[in-house]
Structure 1
């Protein structure tokens, strides 16, 4: 039986993907901060589709939480509670409006949550992935400063892990909420590409794929915005305007089903190193931001991230060095 671990699989696009995966009789490990919020989703998936839906406490903003979750996952795998690990879907994340804040590790919250937590999770669980497993990263079109998506949110800045983790400290000027978010998604795409390069160098059959679900107003992305703003963003008129001005648009069902397909379907078995985008009912491989293909920047981002998460020699898989 195929098993997939998905972070943030109990809400938004992650939930839509989890439902699509369960409908295909795939066992799931739902990883998130709240067991209380995941429990009804796990019960629903099991009742409707008969799949195993295991819950795993995981806060991607906390390195200690990621390490504890990885250890718990390995215990469940060894005991047979989980049959296999065929894909890791790095889907959880968020945009944190308001004043800049920091994680329990002292890193800027957006970068810690959207980037460092998933980076560490993949490193720790990589040895448990099946021979032809997949790692799928939920990115965003906002990562591209040349796109309308990127211009509307705030153009991404240099993907410097150390600078991003310490943004706003020691009297430095904090990036805007939008730029923190878009830059975290640029780093996400670059992680996916750098992982692919390392996998190919190691002659591995594991795939690493980036996915842009498009702008989906029904998600929790706008939950901290005023109610009128959320209503306008989800209106038919705004969707029409968004399409006309070049914003990448989608809906919850299609984006969730697309994420599920990328993680499992045979059609994407040879898609490692690619960036897929859901746009107005179509899923296709497209070009990502120009900077995302910069290999020297990606290597530095990867190596600096290893230092920031305090990755030990014992934790780092040989294939990814």
Structure 2
């Protein structure tokens, strides 16, 4: 039986994906920093679908937590508690409004959570992924400054890992929350593409895919905003306006089912290196931002990120060296 690891699989789009996968009798590893909620969701999924569901403690903003989760995952696979690892959904993430706040490692929290944590997790878990496994990165249309979503949230800045990790330090002016978020999602797409290039160079059959779930305001994305803003964003009138102005819109159920399909469906067995978008009930392969295809910038982003997460020589997967 197949097993999929989903970060943030206990809420929002991740939960919808977990439900869709469980409905296909696929076992799950739910990774996140809410043990009580994960335990509750795991019990519900086991009872309703009869699948194996394991919880994995993981705080993506903490590199120590990511390393501990990777060790725990290795042990679960070694003991047979988890039978296999066939796909990884790098799905969890967040936008952190207000002043810049550092992670436990001293990095800007948006970049630490949305980028550094998932980068390290993939590096450490890749050796345990099955031969034809898949890695799917949840990004956002906000990564494209030429899109409606990109203009609304805040146009991206240079995808420089060192600058983004240190944003707001040394008395320098901090980026807005929107720019921090959109740029982290640009980096996410670039990680997906760079992983694909390195896998292809190594002759690997593992796939690396980027996914835009669309704007889904009923999820926890806006949890840090005032209640009136959250209510207006989730209203039917606002959804109509967003569609009219060209924003990418979806709902949790469709986006979750789309993520589940990209992770496991035979229809997406040969789409590594592509960017898929869930928009108004359709899942399509589309072009991402022009900057996301810059291979020189992507290679630098990758190498700088390896330095920031402190990736040791024995931690880097052999096929990516």
Shift of the alpha carbon at 1:224?
1.3
Q: Does 1:74 align with 2:112?
A: no
Q: Would you say how many aligned residue pairs link Structure 1 and Structure 2?
A: 321
Shift, 1:37, TM fit:
1.3
Which residue pairs with 2:88 in the alignment?
A: 88
1:255-301 per-residue CA deviation (whole Å, 9 max, x = no partner) reads 00000000000000001000000000000000000000000000000
Alignment of 1:1-321 (within 5 A): 1-321=1-321
Question: How far apart are 1:25 and its partner, in Å?
Answer: 0.3
Paired with 1:186 and 1:300, the residues of 2 have a C-alpha distance of 14
How far has the Cα of 1:223 moved from its partner? 1.1
Give the Cα separation in 1 of the matches to 2:192 and 2:108. Answer: 21
Question: Once the two structures are superposed, what CA deviation does each residue of 1:242-262 show, in whole Å capped at 9, x if it has no partner?
Answer: 011000000110000000000
Provide the secondary structure at the position in 2 that maps to 1:304.
helix
In 1: Cα distance, 2:102 partner to 2:265 partner:
38
Partners of 2:2 and 2:318 lie apart in 1 by 25
Moved beyond 4 Å, runs of 4+: none
CA distance in 1, matches of 2:94, 2:168: 19
Larger mean Cα displacement after TM superposition, 196-205 or 223-232? 223-232
SS of equivalent to 2:169: coil
- 1:3-61 Cα distance to aligned partner (Å, 9 max, x none): 01000000000000000000000000000012111111000100000101100000000
Distance (whole Å) between structure 1 residues aligned to residue 223 and residue 304 of structure 2: 32
- Structure 1 CA distance, aligned partners of 2:91 and 2:127? 20
Counterpart-to-counterpart distance in 2, 1:222 and 1:126:
31
Task: Give TM-score, length-normalised by structure 2.
Answer: 0.99
Normalised by the length of structure 1, the TM-score is 0.99
Q: What are the ranges of 5 or more consecutive residues in structure 2 without an aligned counterpart?
A: none
Residue 170 of structure 1: SS of its match in structure 2? helix
Please give the per-residue CA displacement for 1:209-242, whole angstroms capped at 9, x wherever unaligned: 0000000011101111111111111111111110
Cα separation, 2, equivalents of 1:114 and 1:65 = 14
For residues 13 and 89 of structure 2, the distance between their equivalents in structure 1, rounded to whole angstroms, comes to: 12
Q: Within 2, Cα distance between the matches of 1:94 and 1:182?
A: 11
Determine helix, strand or coil for the equivalent of 2:170: coil
C-alpha distance after superposition, 1:79-122 (max 9, x if no partner): 00000000010001000011110000000000000000000000
